[in-house]
Chain A
Amino acid sequence: MERILFGDNQFFAVNHISDEKSRAQSIQFKDDKAILNTLDIAREAGINTFMCTTHDRISNICDTLRLDAGKYKDFTIFPCMPYAHKYANAVTELGITGTLKQYVPGNFFGSLFKGGVAYLSKDYLSIMELLVDAEMKMFKGLRTPIIFLQNVITDLLLGLGMIDILTAFHSYVEKKYNAEAGFITMNMPMLLQKLETAGIENPIICSSINLAGFRMSGGKELYESVLKTKKVRAIAMQVLGGGAIKPKDAIEYVCSLPNIESILFGASSKINITQTAGFIREFDEKYRTKK
């Protein structure tokens, strides 16, 4: 994994602190060209990994990456699936069964539901695999060495105790895509403990890690102690606390922690991208000798 990963929230109006800002971003990134330009700015700043959700519009971006394969030859994508709002809105509208009918590809479900109770004996993990395949379609031919499960699904399954589905995802992406599984979560210490118990060693876990302790369930101290004592390939996200922490302080905090392999951030403007990347390199230099 590269030290710095570029995120995509800003492209899809995901702003955790301001609805106004989120609308402004939705206008700014209306055209795919604007997204591609921003990715180019990130590449110029030395960031060659794009961690993105499986939003419909990413599919257009992937088309460009394939067309201009020479230009993007060093470019790596970490897909994060699913784009949860697509499914959440569908469940509100169609119910759980209706949503599965809509999104599981082929006539798998069509034939299942005709039988009424025939699906009861089905293996639900194969449904999970079909959904993963549907989400992965848009990345065909691109380099996707790590495939992530979005936090809303990881955490939902974590709370329900359905760790078997997480481990099944882990082995499926390895088998089918020759990729490593990554898990995004808002509950890193709890997830790590459950994954370890299930036999997944040194997992890739992306979680909120920031100076403010924002979205660090169980508390900042617990996270710090896990990073110090456990085996985990940690990615820090929401390092700026949604923009509520001063960038320099925010980055210094994350760089000072042990065991954080990568830092994920997203930004819309050239100045913010180069500044944040600059801070990461500056503080990495400072803390390299101390660790």
Chain B
Amino acid sequence: MTKVALIGAGKMGISHLSILGAHPDVEVTGVSDTSKMVLDVFKKYAAFPCFTDYEEMLAAANPDAVVVAVPTKFHASMVQKIMEQGKHVFAEKPLCMTVEEGKILVDLANKNKLVNQVGYHNKFLGTFREVKKLIDGNYLGELFHFDGASYGPVVIRPNQGNWRADPREGGGCLMDYASHVIDLINYLFGPVTKVRGSLLKSFYSKNVEDAVFSLLEVNPGLSGTLSVNWSDETFRKMSTSITVQGTKGKIICDANELKVYFKTSECPAGYEKGWNVKYLTELTSPVDFYLRGEEYSSQLDYFIKAVEGKVANTINTFQSAWDTDKVIALIRQSAAGSN
């Protein structure tokens, strides 16, 4: 049994906790949160040991691994303390508020040889994984253009304040929403190296951007657009998509549906010339416990297996999340420059 503790029982934290609670190889040895009400509910109806102070919890619960699901501004200090105690960490995304903070965590994870993972769950979706396979197999030829997009209904009216509306806590569409798409672009096409121009726009929020539009460059031959807007209520929930065009064809992919166009019959097994459509139904691997999407269970299962030494810790490492943080910083710089 792997002993796991969780810090931060908010929306993502509770979801992680439920998945961990159902995991056959996990014993949840502690949950910490600053909300008395949330802890009170856990004390009454669940069996997890509860703490208001996370450091106290680390000492008492002595976990092998810790899931950190607190607002981004707390990541740097908390994750550092946890790793200094030799514990493996799964942190929510994005990694840190700044590139400097992220570097400390990346170095510390490497130095202490700890399993380190960040919750960019799209990489655990069968659809995006298939895109990665097709691109790495060079089936699309030389890539020249991509469009990465994400839309959803997070802020659809002038909003009341919570941490997602506070730039000092890691709120805003760039860190909260666009980070997913940037991370996916980095994963599929290699890290973004230049940002040619960006707009950070606010429609409803006073202190943060509600949309991010950017021109990204991976290398001189391959560039594309980033279009992210969390104030779009025509989407029922967050919808992320990637389109990429190469000399041999084109891919349009979202979480559920993969559409691939091949110009010739020179394509991998299971595909043919022209359009091919595949669904998550056939591309996803089953999970032992499902909540909200296979990807949420798969990413935690992967983390636990990495802690147990059963899989290599290569997907969504701090390093790859730090690469995403760096692109976030580049986008901020370019947006500031164009104002």
- Could you tell me which A residues sit within 8 Å of B by CB distance? 12-14, 16-20, 22-23, 26, 85, 88-89, 91-98, 117, 119-120, 124, 152, 155-162, 164-165, 186-187, 190, 212-219, 241-245
12 new A-B contacts at CB < 8 Å, known A242-B281, A243-B279: A23-B234, A89-B154, A92-B11, A92-B154, A92-B164, A96-B38, A155-B291, A158-B22, A159-B19, A159-B291, A160-B14, A186-B290
Determine whether the beta carbon of B291 is less than 8 Å from that of A17.
no
The 9 closest A-B pairs by CB, nearest first: A159-B18, A186-B290, A244-B281, A159-B22, A162-B45, A159-B21, A217-B290, A17-B279, A244-B279
What are some 22 contacts across the A-B interface (CB < 8 A)? Answer: A14-B236, A22-B236, A26-B234, A93-B164, A94-B160, A97-B37, A98-B160, A155-B289, A155-B290, A155-B291, A156-B15, A157-B18, A159-B22, A160-B18, A160-B21, A161-B47, A162-B46, A165-B45, A190-B289, A218-B289, A242-B279, A244-B279
Query: B237 on the interface (CB 8 Å rule)?
Result: yes
B112 at the interface (CB under 8 A from A): no
Mask for B281-315, Cβ within 8 A of A = 1, else 0? 11010111111100000000000000000000000
| Chain B contacts to A: CB under 8 angstroms | 10-11, 14-15, 17-22, 35-38, 40-42, 44-48, 153-155, 159-160, 162, 164, 234, 236-237, 239, 241, 254, 256-257, 279-282, 284, 286-292
Contact A124 B41 (CB under 8 A): yes
Given A13-B236, A22-B236, A159-B17, answer yes or no on A93-B155 (Cβ-Cβ < 8 Å).
yes
Contact B280 A17 (CB under 8 A): yes
Contacts of B286 in A (CB 8 A): 213, 216-219
Q: Which of B11, B45, B234, B256 contacts A17 (CB 8 A)?
A: B256
Could you tell me the distance between the alpha carbons of A241 and B280 in the complex, rounded to whole angstroms? Answer: 10
Quote the shortest CB–CB distance from A49 to chain B (angstroms): 25
With a CB–CB cut-off of 8 A, which chain A residues contact B155?
93
Minimal beta-carbon separation of B328 from chain A (angstroms): 20
CB-based contact B18/A17 at 8 Å: no
Shortest Cβ gap from A246 to chain B (Å): 12
Bound-state Cα–Cα, A40 to B164, Å: 44
Kindly provide the distance from the CB of A90 to the nearest chain B CB, expressed in whole angstroms: 10
A216 CA to B40 CA, complexed, in Å: 33
* Chain A hits for B22, CB < 8 A: 158-159, 187, 190
Question: Cβ of A212 and Cβ of B281 under 8 Å apart?
Answer: yes
Q: Check A241–B11 contact: CB distance below 8 A.
A: no
Report which of A13, A18, A117 forms a contact with B257, defined as CB distance below 8 A.
A18
CB distance from B74 to the nearest CB of A (A): 16
Give the complex CA separation of A233 and B68 in angstroms. Answer: 39
Pick the contact of B17: A117, A160, A245 (CB < 8 A).
A160
Query: Given A17-B256, A120-B37 in contact, is the A187-B281 Cβ separation under 8 Å?
Result: no
Asked if B289 and A94 make an inter-chain contact with CB atoms under 8 angstroms apart, the answer reads: no
Residue among A124, A161, A165 with max Cβ neighbours from chain B (10 Å) = A161
Kindly provide the distance from the CB of A130 to the nearest chain B CB, expressed in whole angstroms.
15
Whether B36 contacts A160 by the Cβ 8 Å rule is no
Enumerate chain B residues within 8 angstroms of A91, measured Cβ to Cβ.
10-11
In the complex, chain B residues whose CB is within 8 Å of the CB of A217? 286-290
Whether B257 contacts A161 by the Cβ 8 Å rule is no
Residues on A with beta carbons closer than 8 Å to the beta carbon of B45: 124, 160-162, 164-165
Instruction: State how many angstroms separate the Cβ of A155 from the closest Cβ of chain B.
Output: 5
Q: Which of A14, A19, A120, A214 has the most CB of B within 10 A?
A: A19
Contact A120 B162 (CB under 8 A): no
Asked, given contacts A19-B254, A190-B22, whether A96 binds B281 with beta carbons under 8 Å apart, the answer is: no
A51 and B236 CA atoms in complex are apart in Å by 20
**Are B239 and A19 closer than 8 Å at their CB atoms?**
yes
Find chain B residues with CB under 8 A from A17 CB: 256-257, 279-281
- Across-interface contacts of B236 in A (CB, < 8 A): 12-14, 22, 85
Cα distance, A213 to B287, chains bound together (Å): 11
How far is it, in angstroms, between the C-alpha of A156 and the C-alpha of B16 when the chains are bound?
10
The minimal Cβ–Cβ distance linking A192 to chain B, given in whole angstroms, is 14
Instruction: Give every chain A residue within 8 A of B153 (Cβ-Cβ).
Output: 89
Query: Which one of A20, A212, A215 has the greatest number of beta carbons of chain B within 10 Å?
Result: A215
With both chains docked as a complex, state the minimum distance between the C-beta of A236 and any C-beta of chain B, in angstroms: 16
Q: Is the CB of B14 within 8 A of A156?
A: yes
